[in-house]
Amino acid sequence: MPRPHDADHHPVEEGERTKAPEPGRSGVPVGVHPRRYGDERDDHRRRHPVLLGQNELCHAFSHLQPGPRPLAGLGHAIRLECQANMVKLLIGVGVPLLILLLSIPMILDRVPPNGAYGFRTPKTLSSPEIWYPANRAAGWFMLAAMVVAICFNLALWLAFPEWPLERMVSWMTGGMMVPLAIGLLASFIYLGRL
């Protein structure tokens, strides 16, 4: 649909793409989404499917283009940095925090013997006298492991902010899995003593 304020805009047939005009030329208003002009690089929902629910904030930042029009590409860089930070936050803090929260009902003996949630082994499922102490201990071990993981991941993020996203996510995943494995091993050792 032609826009009255854009003299250089011509109607485009269905399915036809146009070349993205240079920023500051052809009457392209600052803050207009580049996909409207055929720029595929801005299709962040297709490139980053993990972030589907969190792109709105990044999308808003991408259209904040302060200063003169030569800084029009700044929005894309801001959005990419925002997406990388959200991935780091999700992997480094979000997942460990979720595991930490799941350990609290186990610590408080709120989880009865069941086949879906808790420290489930044939021995723990055999008796409530074994289930509750084993789950309480496993909950404490998981809580301690996730506190260590969150502290490690935040320290890593602050100490090495220049690391590429892939390296940071690998280290943060390891920073969560190693304490979790140690906590699981401690849970089995405790269970063996019951």
On the question of pLDDT at 44 being above 70, the answer is no
| Residue with the larger pLDDT of the pair 138 and 68 | 138
pLDDT-derived band at 59, boundaries 50, 70, 90: low
pLDDT-derived band at 56, boundaries 50, 70, 90: low
User: What is the reported pLDDT for 109?
Assistant: 96
Over range 122-128, report the average pLDDT.
95
pLDDT-derived band at 168, boundaries 50, 70, 90: very high
* pTM summary value: 0.61
The number of angstroms, rounded, from the C-alpha of 44 to the middle of its chain's C-alpha atoms is 14
Query: CB–CB of 78/64 below 8 Å?
Result: yes
Q: Burial letters for 26-54: b for 16+ Cβ neighbours within 10 Å, e otherwise?
A: eebebeeebeebebeebebeeebeebeeb
Over range 20-45, report the average pLDDT.
49
On the question of pLDDT at 25 being above 70, the answer is no
Q: Report how far residue 88's alpha carbon sits from residue 162's, in angstroms, rounded to the nearest whole number.
A: 13
Angle at the Cα of 87 from the Cα atoms of 98 and 31, rounded to 5 degrees: 130
| Residue with the larger pLDDT of the pair 91 and 7 | 91
Residue with tokens 């999308």: 59
Over range 185-190, report the average pLDDT.
98
Which secondary structure element, helix H or strand E, spans residue 167, and what is its range?
A: helix 165-193
The number of angstroms, rounded, from the C-alpha of 91 to the middle of its chain's C-alpha atoms is 6
On the question of pLDDT at 141 being above 90, the answer is yes
User: What is the reported pLDDT for 156?
Assistant: 96
On the question of pLDDT at 142 being above 50, the answer is yes
